[in-house]
A and B are shown apart, each in its own frame.
Chain A
Amino acid sequence: MKKILLPGILLFFVYLLWNPVPCKAQADDITSIILKANDFYKEKNYAKAEELYQSALDRGLQNGFLYYNLGNTHIRLGNTGKAILNYLHAKKFLPRDQDLQANLKYSVQHTVDLISWEEKSLLKSLFFWVDNFNLKEHLLILISINICFWISLSVWLYKKNEGINLFRKIVFAVLILSLASTAIKWSSVSDTNFGVILHKTIDVKSGMDKNNTTLFQLHEGAIVSIEKEEAGWFKIKLKDGKSGWAKKDAIGI
């Protein structure tokens, strides 16, 4: 009995992990909302479709395809800024989706400022694969490699030979890389600090007052990095280093 208890508990957790138990009534409700929204979209009633997609999001469903569909709806409604914002949210969950990449590129190409969404940093260059997986995938990879590592270590305990020794060292190196990748992804997801300009044109000021000097202007769809928030203003920064203060309501996050 004891022999099967521990693996049994482990399997139960794995089952829970891969098959989270949703509240069925709520899930059905959201599914019917998405179904209706899709129908409205096909009928070109984009305003209604947008309302329903948004209501599914408001009910707490975090899904890449939902953000993607909402982004498409905003494109149809002419809201380039909101479309880019939703595509960027979708990208967190669907990092390798080709349709999403194409639509995001299409949207950015239709902005005035043409600011790319891709982040370039030394860390991102070294860990170039980090953005190809979402956080859940990173965690699952980490778990799988972790299990492999402990299995290799257990085998090494009973059978010591060069092959197993090399294998456990390789798995350990991969585990460290996976751990670092997951930490980077976790950090980038939890410190999500991008914003998208939602108004046609905004003045970026030198301080938190409309009477301050206008440093530069940004247009709808421009992707900015948000450094801090204070009294209804965001301190924003562009990739080329320009920074200033912009009204919070003009920026979607």
Chain B
Amino acid sequence: MTCLITRVTTGSNWNSMRKVNIFRAISFHGIILATCLIIFTALSAYAEDVSVTASVDKTELTLEDSATLSIIVKGLKDIDPIPLPPIDGFKVHSRGKSSAVQIINGDMYSLTRFTYRLIPTKTGTIEIDSIKVRLDGKNYSTEPITLTVKEAVGSILKSETPAYVQAIVSNEQPYINEEVTFTIRLFQRVNAQILDLEIDLKGFRQEDLGKPKRYKRVINGVEYLVTDISSALFPIKTGTIEIPPAILEVELRYQERGKASNDPFDIFNNGPFSNRRIRTEHKALRTRPIYLKVQPLPEKNKPENFTNLIGQFNLSANLSKTEIDVGDTSTLTIKIFGQGNINDVKFDLPDLSDQFKVYPDKPEFKQWVQNNRISGQKTYSFALVPLKEGIKTIPPFSLNFFDPLKKDYFTQSSKPHQLTVSPSKSGESFKVVESETQMKSPSVKILGEDIFPIHTKLSDFESNDIDNSQLIVYAIILIVPGLMFIGLAYLNRHRDQLRNNSALARSRIALKQANQQLDKLTSSQTDDQKFLASELSRILREYLGNKLNLQGNAFTSDEVETKLKGNVFKEDQVLKTQKLLEKYESMQFSPNANLKQEKLIDESKDILLQLEKQI
């Protein structure tokens, strides 16, 4: 009994082209089935036999086909990708990894499949050696696999193939630097998706000719969808240059009625209840090599200042103003446009420094594709400031190029321009100053360019970097003012509370005030016990009055009991306080010589502290 449990697909290359099947993969039925089986899995035990096997989906293939190599690891989970060694005769593309759990006769196995696409690069019998894998500390190896690669059928009889590809060049005998349009043309009779195009072009400068063009064409009664992928090639050396075979990887899609698959990894591609399926086929279509005979440019009629421009070009020159005052600016615009290697155009303005101060602008370059060829325009702008009044002549400018169609050199020239320069029309007094400045400014001729010197002030070579310790300091300095403000706000609020709440204010100062008075009494060293007892009694009553926000201090020791008990004081404290006050009262009437001043004061301080702790 074989039962598929679940499947996880990873890897950047895995089935990126199988978008059609994604919706099936997440179909409702699939989710229900997978959920049930996951629960079942959790309740089952895994079998632990580990094995590694390698297999291919076909052993005979043509140069246009690809084979799928699968390495299946049974009995282990969470396996890292297995790197494949280079295989002579094949290009190998990893297509990712998938995992599944399989139950065979009640035993559960974890299966991990690593898939690789093998694209043949030569014909013949090719053996894939045993693949050695180290997993979980043990070595495993697969059986060798032999594949036979034959010449592509499509290259023999193209009308029988669902898709084929051709390489076409616009000119097989171009001149050096001449634009050659190179087109890879895909003919397809079935739905096809282009996956990759590989071609190793050497000896050319290449420019893209835009998006592929699609159109239909009937060949021998068969309708093909044709896709042209074009680029412009500019040969950079003479002699025979090969355009090697281009490999166009495509995925052909055939829609057909399906049959149940035995592949446990295949259920999510087609859905468990679907009888329609899309069969895909990977093809690596190849073009034939093309050999270009690149000719050197003829020496005959070659102009002296020729700058390797090949194509058809035009030149125009224009002045923004033909009548200006001294100090004003007229812009000279030179436009060079046409088809060919327009990017290589270079234009240097002849020396006009005896008549003008010249300010060149950055050249503008535009390129576009016209009739499947590169066209473009380079625009050079120069601001001309005349140095003196009079009629100035801008000489004609010329451009040499080689026209490969007419096989000869040509020169395009602009018309000469005249510029009438009048004296400045500004006011007399201003004109004198302006005239001087303007005459001085253009007279500074730039003779060369250089960089500014190195920096040598050693004190500037301290580290500008911000390290972690500095970052911490920055953070602290950012936070501290905020914290200080919070503290200040708290103090302010507290002060406001004291100001607005006299009970609280009295309570806060009660102990401090009592202690100050007791200290004063200590320092007075009086022998008068009556006075001492009276003072101690007053201090204690005042303290209690402040603490309990009572008006006056003329309450008796009995009243103390009532007032203190009504608050939070413990009974024994109340009793002690009451007794102490009674003691002070009796001392005022019958002094006791045995009682010493220090002891009495200490006793008072002690009771004050105990009362303070209560509140």
Q: Which residues of B contact A38 (CB under 8 A)?
A: 454, 456
Task: Looking at the assembled complex, report how far the CB atom of B477 sits from the nearest CB atom of chain A, in whole angstroms.
Answer: 5
Task: Looking at the assembled complex, report how far the CB atom of A42 sits from the nearest CB atom of chain B, in whole angstroms.
Answer: 8
CA distance A35 to B470 in the complex (A): 27
The answer, among A22, A35, A106, A215, for a CB contact under 8 Å with B462, is A22
A163 at the interface (CB under 8 A from B): no
Chain B residue at minimal CB-CB distance from A87:
B451
Task: Looking at the assembled complex, report how far the CB atom of A94 sits from the nearest CB atom of chain B, in whole angstroms.
Answer: 8
B201 at the interface (CB under 8 A from A): yes
Q: Which residues of B contact A153 (CB under 8 A)?
A: 485
* Interface set, chain A 163-221, CB cutoff 8 A to B: 207, 210-217
Chain A residue at minimal CB-CB distance from B231:
A213
Segment from A68-76, A122-130, A245-253 that makes contact with B: A68-76
* Interface set, chain B 474-502, CB cutoff 8 A to A: 474, 476-478, 480-482, 484-485, 488-489, 492
Task: Looking at the assembled complex, report how far the CB atom of A182 sits from the nearest CB atom of chain B, in whole angstroms.
Answer: 10
Segment from B66-74, B192-200, B505-513, B545-553 that makes contact with A: B192-200
B466 at the interface (CB under 8 A from A): yes
The answer, among A14, A69, A136, for a CB contact under 8 Å with B466, is A136
Do A61 and B451 touch (CB < 8 A)? no
| Given contacts A6-B484, A142-B478, A215-B208, A31 and B452 within 8 Å (CB-CB) | no
Task: Looking at the assembled complex, report how far the CB atom of A203 sits from the nearest CB atom of chain B, in whole angstroms.
Answer: 9
Do A22 and B461 touch (CB < 8 A)? no
Do B461 and A61 touch (CB < 8 A)? yes
Which of B231, B477, B480 has the largest number of chain A CB atoms within 10 A? B477
| Given contacts A150-B484, A158-B492, A217-B205, A72 and B464 within 8 Å (CB-CB) | no
The answer, among A10, A63, A211, A213, for a CB contact under 8 Å with B461, is A63
Q: Which residues of B contact A64 (CB under 8 A)?
A: 464
CA distance A75 to B449 in the complex (A): 12
B460 at the interface (CB under 8 A from A): yes
| Given contacts A41-B454, A72-B451, A150-B481, A143 and B464 within 8 Å (CB-CB) | no
Do B465 and A62 touch (CB < 8 A)? yes
Do A106 and B451 touch (CB < 8 A)? yes
Do B198 and A212 touch (CB < 8 A)? yes
Chain B residue at minimal CB-CB distance from A30:
B461
Classify chain B: how many residues form its interface, as a range: 35 or more
A1 at the interface (CB under 8 A from B): no
Do B463 and A75 touch (CB < 8 A)? no
Task: Looking at the assembled complex, report how far the CB atom of A174 sits from the nearest CB atom of chain B, in whole angstroms.
Answer: 15
Chain B residue at minimal CB-CB distance from A14:
B477
Do B451 and A13 touch (CB < 8 A)? no
The answer, among B461, B463, B474, B488, for a CB contact under 8 Å with A17, is B474
The answer, among A16, A66, A135, for a CB contact under 8 Å with B473, is A16
* Interface set, chain B 430-456, CB cutoff 8 A to A: 449-456
B425 at the interface (CB under 8 A from A): no
CA distance A63 to B465 in the complex (A): 7
* Interface set, chain A 33-83, CB cutoff 8 A to B: 34-35, 38, 41, 60-66, 68-69, 72-73, 75
Chain B residue at minimal CB-CB distance from A116:
B362
Do B477 and A10 touch (CB < 8 A)? yes
Q: Which residues of A contact B474 (CB under 8 A)?
A: 17, 139, 143
Chain A residue at minimal CB-CB distance from B467:
A20
The answer, among B205, B452, B456, for a CB contact under 8 Å with A99, is B452
A157 at the interface (CB under 8 A from B): yes
Classify chain A: how many residues form its interface, as a range: 35 or more
CA distance A177 to B206 in the complex (A): 48
A 147-161 to B, binary, CB cutoff 8 A, 1 in contact else 0: 101110110011000
Q: Which residues of A contact B463 (CB under 8 A)?
A: 20, 22, 60-63
CA distance A182 to B377 in the complex (A): 43
Q: Which residues of A contact B458 (CB under 8 A)?
A: 31, 34-35
B 206-249 to A, binary, CB cutoff 8 A, 1 in contact else 0: 11100000000000000000000001000000000000000000
Task: Looking at the assembled complex, report how far the CB atom of B197 sits from the nearest CB atom of chain A, in whole angstroms.
Answer: 6
Inter-chain residue pair count (beta carbon < 8 A): 119
Main SS at interface, chain B: mixed
Task: Looking at the assembled complex, report how far the CB atom of B81 sits from the nearest CB atom of chain A, in whole angstroms.
Answer: 14
A103 at the interface (CB under 8 A from B): yes
Q: Which residues of A contact B362 (CB under 8 A)?
A: 114
Q: Which residues of B contact A93 (CB under 8 A)?
A: 464
CA distance A153 to B492 in the complex (A): 13
Chain B residue at minimal CB-CB distance from A13:
B473
Do B485 and A150 touch (CB < 8 A)? yes
Q: Which residues of A contact B477 (CB under 8 A)?
A: 10, 13-14, 17, 143, 147
Q: Which residues of B contact A146 (CB under 8 A)?
A: 478, 481-482
A102 at the interface (CB under 8 A from B): yes
| Given contacts A158-B492, A214-B206, A17 and B464 within 8 Å (CB-CB) | no
Chain A residue at minimal CB-CB distance from B450:
A106
Do B482 and A31 touch (CB < 8 A)? no
Task: Looking at the assembled complex, report how far the CB atom of B508 sits from the nearest CB atom of chain A, in whole angstroms.
Answer: 19
A111 at the interface (CB under 8 A from B): no
| Given contacts A17-B474, A69-B454, A151 and B466 within 8 Å (CB-CB) | no
Task: Looking at the assembled complex, report how far the CB atom of B302 sits from the nearest CB atom of chain A, in whole angstroms.
Answer: 25
The answer, among B199, B455, B456, for a CB contact under 8 Å with A213, is B199
The answer, among A35, A102, A150, A211, for a CB contact under 8 Å with B200, is A211
Task: Looking at the assembled complex, report how far the CB atom of B380 sits from the nearest CB atom of chain A, in whole angstroms.
Answer: 13
A225 at the interface (CB under 8 A from B): no
Q: Which residues of B contact A150 (CB under 8 A)?
A: 481-482, 484-485
A 103-129 to B, binary, CB cutoff 8 A, 1 in contact else 0: 100110000001000000000000000
Chain A residue at minimal CB-CB distance from B465:
A62
Q: Which residues of B contact A134 (CB under 8 A)?
A: 464
Do B464 and A136 touch (CB < 8 A)? yes
Do A65 and B473 touch (CB < 8 A)? no
Do B451 and A102 touch (CB < 8 A)? yes
CA distance A114 to B364 in the complex (A): 11
Do B481 and A151 touch (CB < 8 A)? yes
CA distance A103 to B454 in the complex (A): 10
A 3-27 to B, binary, CB cutoff 8 A, 1 in contact else 0: 0001000100110110010100001
Task: Looking at the assembled complex, report how far the CB atom of B553 sits from the nearest CB atom of chain A, in whole angstroms.
Answer: 35
Q: Which residues of B contact A99 (CB under 8 A)?
A: 452-453, 455
Do B473 and A17 touch (CB < 8 A)? yes
Chain B residue at minimal CB-CB distance from A33:
B461
Q: Which residues of A contact B449 (CB under 8 A)?
A: 106
CA distance A135 to B474 in the complex (A): 12
Task: Looking at the assembled complex, report how far the CB atom of B527 sits from the nearest CB atom of chain A, in whole angstroms.
Answer: 40
CA distance A62 to B464 in the complex (A): 6
Q: Which residues of A contact B208 (CB under 8 A)?
A: 215-216
CA distance A187 to B191 in the complex (A): 47
Do A72 and B454 touch (CB < 8 A)? yes
Q: Which residues of B contact A17 (CB under 8 A)?
A: 470, 473-474, 477
CA distance A216 to B206 in the complex (A): 7
Do B464 and A157 touch (CB < 8 A)? no
Chain B residue at minimal CB-CB distance from A20:
B470
CA distance A215 to B232 in the complex (A): 11
Do A65 and B461 touch (CB < 8 A)? yes
Q: Would you list the 5 A-B pairs with minimal beta carbon distance, nearest first?
A: A62-B465, A150-B481, A99-B452, A65-B455, A93-B464
Q: List 20 A-B contacts (CB under 8 A).
A: A6-B480, A10-B477, A10-B480, A30-B461, A60-B463, A62-B463, A63-B463, A65-B461, A102-B452, A106-B451, A107-B451, A136-B466, A139-B466, A146-B481, A151-B481, A157-B488, A210-B200, A212-B198, A213-B231, A214-B206
By a beta-carbon cutoff of 8 Å, the part of chain A in contact with chain B is: 6, 10, 13-14, 16-17, 20, 22, 27, 30-31, 34-35, 38, 41, 60-66, 68-69, 72-73, 75, 93, 99, 102-103, 106-107, 114, 134-136, 139, 142-143, 146-147, 149-151, 153-154, 157-158, 207, 210-217
Given contacts A17-B473, A72-B451, A139-B466, 4 further A-B contacts (CB under 8 A): A6-B484, A66-B461, A146-B478, A213-B197
